[in-house]
DNA sequence: ACTCGGCGTTCTCTAGACCAGAACGCTTAT
DNA sequence: ATAAGCGTTCTGGTCTAGAGAACGCCGAGT
């Protein structure tokens, strides 16, 4: 549902921010023409944002500043779940040598809170703050499997089930089956569903109330993860990390 | 200099964001009374921000969402300096076992791009995105020492030289002396200036043009850093990390 | 040297948005 | 029952946002 009385000026500001983010450094005219706004209006928004650190001027082009990271970093740091999970995810990365990730759900999307690279980790284009559809990653499936069914329906209604690759989930039935599997095993697997050749294993973190707080995963190239690993040592490690977080978060 | 034609509505939106950040989760009435705005106005801003993911509603209280981290994380990821320096800072943390940091200057302030904890690292309350006055940290001094003098004056004029502790820099003369020392040694030291008992050593990273891109540091408790360390092995390691970044960034 | 095109910026003016304040429905405390 | 206080909705008057035109500047083309 849209806001009843949206502040249109704020929406324009956010549109400027979004456009500036997509284009990276650029000028007033370029922004204005792509936003269907006059140059003066765009200019006013930019200087206002600049005044508050959200936008920088370099020469006579504009770009987004690090204020967003300041606010976002503060929000993340304030999350108890992040504080508790961060060292465990790092430890998991060091221990396995692979890429370990931490994801939470927000407004029906997955948000990566952090990623930690082990010694041999693949270099994916994920980054802290990045969003992903929940049904397309092991992390997301681990979360969906432990959300109330009504919530899952809401999320699917809102964001759909677009396939990212031919192997990924694309229908409600496939999703339902996949979530059953996750609940049976206690962890989620992504075998090339998001990126060919990439295997990923994720475990949910639940509060004592049963509510899902997020999920922890390890991503590695298929060449280094045998089928036995995928159902043997690797899940043990990821589940153990998730379990430690669960214990620490409930004091 | 303030914006010539500020967008007042945007400024109100940003004020709402800032207030919400400081208070954490809270209600419309509380925000409105502290912002000198009517409840309806605050409500309109909040629902608009919510619509775009910048704000979340939990029950009938509001809080900041992870959209800020998404935008900020994207901005950070897009910085070449971060991409190149990130693995080196991580390596430095692993190697020393202490806390390693990466800082850049923006609008006269220092912004932490990341921190990486080694095995024995102290747990400071810094976080990615956090700002600090440049004159109060070794990282900041390492940057100031290699900025043009006119730029340093500008920054001091704008942000002053407030002392954070009795040991820290508080006058232009002290700053000037400190920056001379940095240039002589090639690295900056903070011996309890920011936090009693904490020693910190930082090296600048410069582009081939001579421009300072940022600085890399290691922070450790004084009990683990002898005076010899402070002028022996530790600077070597930090300087070496900075040097690797310099080499990699100039292709 | 001069012009021209295009940039970021400034100015003016009015159509239209913002939002204080009042009113509403709801929950909780008394 | 009642009241107090919350988030939300609604409306009208005030003030602002921003299109469009004009400006100063710079670099390219002639």
> What's the pLDDT at B63?
98
Give per-residue pLDDT as tens, B41-81. Answer: 999 999 999 999 999 999 999 999 999 999 999 999 999 99
Q: Could A127 and B17 be called an inter-chain contact, meaning their C-beta atoms sit closer than 8 Å? A: no
> What's the pLDDT at B166?
85
Q: Quickly list DSSP for A118-140.
A: -TT----S--TT-EEEGGGSHHH
Vertex B81 angle, CA B83 and A26, to 5°: 100
Domain end among B17, B42, B65: B65
Residue B3 lies in a domain: no
**How many alpha carbons fall within 13 Å on the CB side of residue A92?**
33
CB atoms within 10 A of CB A143: 27
Residues in chain A with pLDDT < 50? none
Residue A3 lies in a domain: no
Residue B2 lies in a domain: no
Residue B81 lies in a domain: yes
The answer to whether A34 CB is within 7 Å of strand D is no
Kindly tell me the sign of the dihedral angle through the C-alpha atoms of B27, B30, B32, B34. Answer: negative
Residue B150 lies in a domain: yes
Q: Are residues A50 and A85 in the same domain?
A: no
Q: Could A72 and B75 be called an inter-chain contact, meaning their C-beta atoms sit closer than 8 Å? A: no
Q: How many domains does chain A have?
A: 2
- Distance from the Cα of residue B208 to its chain's centroid: 24
Q: Are residues B14 and B92 in the same domain?
A: no
Residue B1 lies in a domain: no
Domain end among A49, A66, A83: A66
Q: Which of residues 222-251 of A touch B (CB under 8 A)?
A: none
Q: Are residues B194 and B114 in the same domain?
A: yes
Q: Are residues A152 and A236 in the same domain?
A: yes
Q: Are residues A44 and A136 in the same domain?
A: no
CB atoms within 10 A of CB B1: 5
Q: Are residues B22 and B131 in the same domain?
A: no
Q: Are residues A33 and A82 in the same domain?
A: no
In sequence order, what are the beta bridge partners of A216? Answer: A102, A203
Q: What is the CATH number of the domain that holds A39?
A: 1.10.10.10
Q: Are residues A185 and A224 in the same domain?
A: yes
Q: Are residues A53 and A164 in the same domain?
A: no
Residue A231 in 3-state DSSP?
A: helix
Q: What is the CATH number of the domain that holds B115?
A: 3.30.450.40
Q: Are residues B143 and B80 in the same domain?
A: yes
> What's the pLDDT at B230?
67
Q: Could B129 and A45 be called an inter-chain contact, meaning their C-beta atoms sit closer than 8 Å? A: no
Residue B22 lies in a domain: yes
Q: How far is A130 from chain B (nearest CA, A)?
A: 5
- Which of B51, B72, B75 lies nearest to residue A3, judging by beta carbons? B51
Q: Are residues B20 and B101 in the same domain?
A: no
Domain end among A28, A46, A66: A66
Give per-residue pLDDT as tens, A135-185. Answer: 999 999 999 999 999 999 999 999 999 998 888 899 999 999 999 999 999
- Give the range of the structural domain holding residue B14, as residue numbers without chain letter: 8-65
Residue (of A204, A201, A249, A237) closest to A84 by Cα position: A249
How sure is the predictor about B249, in pLDDT bands with cuts at 50, 70 and 90?
A: very high
Q: Are residues B55 and B81 in the same domain?
A: no
Q: Where do runs of H (alpha helix) occur along chain A?
A: 8-23, 28-35, 39-51, 67-77, 80-96, 138-144, 149-159, 172-185, 227-231, 233-249
Residue B108 lies in a domain: yes
- SS3 per-residue string spanning A25-41: CECHHHHHHHHCCCHHH
Q: What Å value separates CA A28 and C1' C7?
A: 9
């Amino acid at each position: 549902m849209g806001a009843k009385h949206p502040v249109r000026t704020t929406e324009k500001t956010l549109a400027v921010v979004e456009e500036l983010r997509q284009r990276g450094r650029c000028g007033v005219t370029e922004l204005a023409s792509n936003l269907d706004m006059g140059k003066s209006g765009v200019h006013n928004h930019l200087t206002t944002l600049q005044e508050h650190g959200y936008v920088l001027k370099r020469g006579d082009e504009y770009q987004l500043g690090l204020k967003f990271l300041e606010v976002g970093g503060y929000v993340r740091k304030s999350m108890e779940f992040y504080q508790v999970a961060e060292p465990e995810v790092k430890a998991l990365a060091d221990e396995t040598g692979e890429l370990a990730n931490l994801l939470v759900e927000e407004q029906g999307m997955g948000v990566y809170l952090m990623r930690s690279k082990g010694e041999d980790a693949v270099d994916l284009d994920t980054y802290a703050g990045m969003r992903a559809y929940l049904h397309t990653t092991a992390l997301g499936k681990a979360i969906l499997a432990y959300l109330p069914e009504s919530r899952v329906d809401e999320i699917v209604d809102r964001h759909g089930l677009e396939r990212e690759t031919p192997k990924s989930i694309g229908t409600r039935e496939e999703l339902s089956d996949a979530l059953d599997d996750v609940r049976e095993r206690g962890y989620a697997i992504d075998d090339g569903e998001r990126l060919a050749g990439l295997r990923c294993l994720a475990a949910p973190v639940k509060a004592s109330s049963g509510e899902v707080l997020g999920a922890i995963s390890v991503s590695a190239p298929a060449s280094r993860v045998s089928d036995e690993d995928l159902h043997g040592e690797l899940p043990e490690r990821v589940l153990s990390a998730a379990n430690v977080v669960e214990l620490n978060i409930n004091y």
